[in-house]
Amino acid sequence: MTLLVVEGLTKRFGGVAAAKDVSFSLGAGEMLAIIGPNGAGKSTTFNMVGGQLKPDSGTITLDGRSIAGLPARAIWKSGVGRTFQVAQTFVSMTVAENVQMALLSHHGRTRSLFADARALYRDEALGLLAGVGMRGDAERPVSELAYGDVKRVELAVALASRPKLLLMDEPTAGMAPRERGGLMALTAEVARTNRIGVLYTEHDMEAVFAHADRVLVLVRGEIIAAGTPEEIRANPRVKQVYLGEAGTAAAMRARRKAVA
């Protein structure tokens, strides 16, 4: 069953088309990666789906409902959770409170004036944290966590509303290499178990080819290829335009290895 259908999505900044006629679809439980060089329009596409940007034209349909141009919170309401390239958490709160905050919103209790916020949905939050392996850190301020752990918390927050679609903008950016595999494996497992569709952008090719069901290649705002990881690997155009920057990619990989 198709969960998300994107057709003809276009966004211009000044005269420059950051995304041009982008179309793709995504099924429930499927993991779809968008790759492309810097400035290819990945984040733009992404933010249009998530509601952080308004598309100039094109349609976005989630579960048969059009969500294009809706504000972020309406898109969230229709079943989209997301994480950000630079993790966005509530830095003044504990790990558990971050998740509880999402649950409060999910249950429509954010305007409650006198209830004790810390006691609400606590067990549910702890359950979600257990799911991402952060149960033991529930009482720590989120500001104290290592960045990889912050990303896990963010995942738990994104999952709190039981979304149908999860948007992850460079989920492993800024994480130590060791943590990356773990987070992507965790995401894939959660997605498949709960039949959540995952759309993510990624720089790290290993994370892409290891976990994606399908891959879109975006260059200068346009999709130049789509298919399974194997097909993308074999696509000559992709090789030329994107992976053709092999020198850079290899160097990056080498450096990461050195750091690790």
Partner 1 sequence: MDPSFLVLQALSGLASASSLFVIASGLTIVFGVTRIVNFAHGSFYMLGAYIAVTLVPRLLDLSYSPAAFFLGVLLSALLVGLIGVAVEVLLLRRIYRVPELFQLLATFGVVLIVEDLVLKIWGPVDIAGPRAPSLRHGVEILGQRFPAYELVLIAVGPLVLGLLWLLMHRTRFGVLIRAATQDREMVGALGVNQARLFTLTLFLGASLAGLGGALQIPRVPANAHMDLSIITDAFVVTVIGGMGSVPGAFVAALLIGQLQAFGILIFPKVTLVLVFALMAVVLVVKPWGLFGRPEAASGRVMPPEGIPSLRRFRPADVALAGLAAAALLAVPLLGDAYKVKVATEILIFALAAFSLQFLVGVGGLVSFGHAAYFGLGAYAAGLLVTGPLKAPMELALLAAPLAAAAGAALFGFFIVRLSGIYLAMLTLAFGQIVYAICFQWVEVTGGDNGVVGVWPSSWASGRITYFYLVAALSLTAIVLLRRVIYAPFGYSLRAARDSATRAEAIGLDVRTHRWLGFTLAGAAAGLAGGLYAFLKGSIDPTLTGIPLSIDFLVMVLVGGIQTVMGPLVGAAFFHALKDAVMPLTEFWRLLLGIAIIATVLAFPRGLAGAAEAIRGRTVARKPVEASA
When asked if residue 85 is in the footprint of partner 1 (CB under 8 A), the reply is yes
- Residue 115 token pair: 């209830």
Minimum separation from the CB atom of position 102 to partner 1 (A): 4
Are the beta carbons of 143 and 57 closer than 8 angstroms? no
Q: Enumerate residues 15-54 that contact partner 1 by CB under 8 A.
A: 50-52
Spatial distance between the Cα atoms of 50 and 34, rounded to a whole number of angstroms: 14
When asked if residue 215 is in the footprint of partner 1 (CB under 8 A), the reply is no
Minimum separation from the CB atom of position 227 to partner 1 (A): 30
Nearest by Cα to 66 from 49, 52, 87? 49
Of 117-125, 129-137, 177-185, 219-227, the window that binds partner 1 (rule: CB under 8 A) is 117-125
Residue 233: Cβ within 10 Å count: 14
Spatial distance between the Cα atoms of 82 and 159, rounded to a whole number of angstroms: 8
When asked if residue 228 is in the footprint of partner 1 (CB under 8 A), the reply is no
Of 21-29, 59-67, 89-97, 214-222, the window that binds partner 1 (rule: CB under 8 A) is 89-97
When asked if residue 76 is in the footprint of partner 1 (CB under 8 A), the reply is yes
> Angle 95-106/122-131 helices, nearest 10 degrees?
120
When asked if residue 92 is in the footprint of partner 1 (CB under 8 A), the reply is yes
For the chain, give percent helix, strand, coil, nearest 5: 40, 25, 35
Q: Residue numbers of the site for partner 1 (CB under 8 A)? A: 50-52, 71-73, 76-77, 81-82, 84-94, 97, 100-102, 104-106, 109-118, 120, 141, 143, 157-158, 160-161
